Structure 1
Amino acid sequence: MQNLEKFVQVNGAKIHYIEAGNGKAVVLHHGARFNAHTWEETGTISAIAEVGYRAISIDFPGFGKSESGNFGNLSDFISSFIETMKLDKPILLGASMGGEAVLEYAVDNPKKLGGLILVGAVGVSSYENKLKDLDGLPILLIWGKHDNVSPKHNYELILKYVKSAKFVNIGNQHACYLDDPNGFNEQIKTFLKGL
């Protein structure tokens, strides 16, 4: 299945994304050192398309091929992107910085989502008082065994408040999808098939 490079205007900014597959949308958000192509290199876009979903890997504003634009924060951008693309209850995947952005959007809009995949998300404790609002939403938490950027306290906090969250270790480092892309993609495919 071919990955297509596309652009869309979001609040006047030209935003780049890579898309493959059809079906319910899974929107992928990268970490601070990465961009939309990271999820292409790990085979994650293709893996998601393989199991009957529409994978959309975006470059955050000011990253990769996206313009900076004028967004309050990354959560506001996610909200605008979902509205612009007219996505119905998408599943959001976010790694590290992208994980925090996705989490911030999710705690404010749990009813607008079909699921959540957080990979070594940072800043989780900032949203502790709202985490319980995510209970009932299918959530997959993926952390590297020796993540030295996002400590295990972050996923433990989510597991404490969200009974519908499932946790797995993949690889070792913070960017665990680089350690074991196949294992990472298999976990995501299993999660998506179960929705």
Structure 2
Amino acid sequence: MSNNLITEGKFSYLEKGEGQPIILLHGLMGTLSNFDSVFNHFSEKGYKVIIPELPIYTLPLLKTNVKNLSKFLKEFMEFKNIDKAILLGNSLGGHIALYFTKLNLNRVAGLVLAGSSGLYEKSMGDTYPKRGNYEYIETKTQEVFYDPKVASKEMVDEVFETVNNRGKVIKTLAIAKSAIRHNMAKDLNDMDTPACVIWGKNDTVTPPEVAVEFEKLLPDAKLYWIDKCGHVPMMEHPEEFNKLLENWLKERNL
């Protein structure tokens, strides 16, 4: 899918379909391919689906935080002439969507959170002392999923490369600290936009109680569970994820 990556100025992104824009926001260790199934499914259902490459490792260190990634999303929407979009974020991507919504509520048609940070998450920060140990990184990557087989060798290799790149480690830790600093609990009640919360029942990174809290604090949220599923539901159970999201979009006329 990355072969179709469009690069224009400082933006790199994937785009497919026509209609209501859905912007997909990947996580800290995530890649654009995490959304393969969502991208292909909804681009054929009357939506323009866009996945921007987030500048997690290319922003200056002092600007490597949730606030500036949210600012990047705003710049990207302006560049694409998108006035209003449905935002779908996984992990850190959900946190960016939430921060953006806090500042730009009128530009959000709907909010979809899957394993989102913003309230609490167990970071991979404690793994860095053992970052040279491939087996350890493999185990930690597998723990993100209910079924460890979802963590392909390619995925483990990518995480291993990231945590052994000093520049990326420093920025990863900066993002992790920023995520804690930008806790969204006090802001959620003001985000009066339709929200869909899709969560893995077996998520160990952002545990199930986080999803319950999101549903409670967001004024117009509906929570859906996926069984035998970890932190990245759209990868681990793509068909079920797409079905839940499609039904919610129909219910809300989005």
Scaled to the shorter chain, the TM-score interval is 0.7 to 0.9
TM-score, normalised to structure 2's length? Answer: 0.66
Conserved 8 A contact 2:17-2:47: yes
| Superposition deviation, residue 32 in structure 1 | 1.6
State how 1:80-95 maps to structure 2 within 5 Å.
80-95=75-90
Higher Rg of the two aligned structures: 2
Which residue of 2 is the match for residue 151 of structure 1?
A: 207
Gaps of 5+ in 2: 121-182
Which residue of 2 is the match for residue 97 of structure 1?
A: 92
Structure with more strand by fraction: 1
Conserved 8 A contact 2:28-2:56: no
Distance across 1 between alignment mates of 2:27 and 2:43: 21
State how 1:1-195 maps to structure 2 within 5 Å.
4-9=4-9, 14-40=10-36, 43-62=37-56, 68-69=58-59, 73-124=68-119, 126-135=183-192, 137-171=193-227, 172-194=229-251, 195=254
> What's the secondary structure of 2:184's corresponding residue?
helix
Conserved 8 A contact 1:31-1:95: yes
Distance across 1 between alignment mates of 2:239 and 2:225: 13
Conserved 8 A contact 1:123-1:154: no
Structure with more helix by fraction: 2
Distance across 2 between alignment mates of 1:121 and 1:62: 16
Deviations 1:40-75, CA, capped at 9 Å, x for gaps: 2xx111111121010001211146xxxx24556211
RMSD: 1.9
TM-score, normalised to structure 1's length? Answer: 0.85
Conserved 8 A contact 2:74-2:100: yes
> What's the secondary structure of 1:73's corresponding residue?
helix
> What's the secondary structure of 1:44's corresponding residue?
helix
> What's the secondary structure of 1:147's corresponding residue?
coil
The amino acid that maps onto 1:18 is: L
Distance across 1 between alignment mates of 2:7 and 2:249: 26
Number of equivalenced pairs? 182
The amino acid that maps onto 1:80 is: E
Distance across 2 between alignment mates of 1:6 and 1:193: 30
| Runs of 4+ displaced beyond 6 Å | none
| Superposition deviation, residue 15 in structure 1 | 2.2
Gaps of 5+ in 1: none
Identity of aligned residues (%): 32
The amino acid that maps onto 1:193 is: K
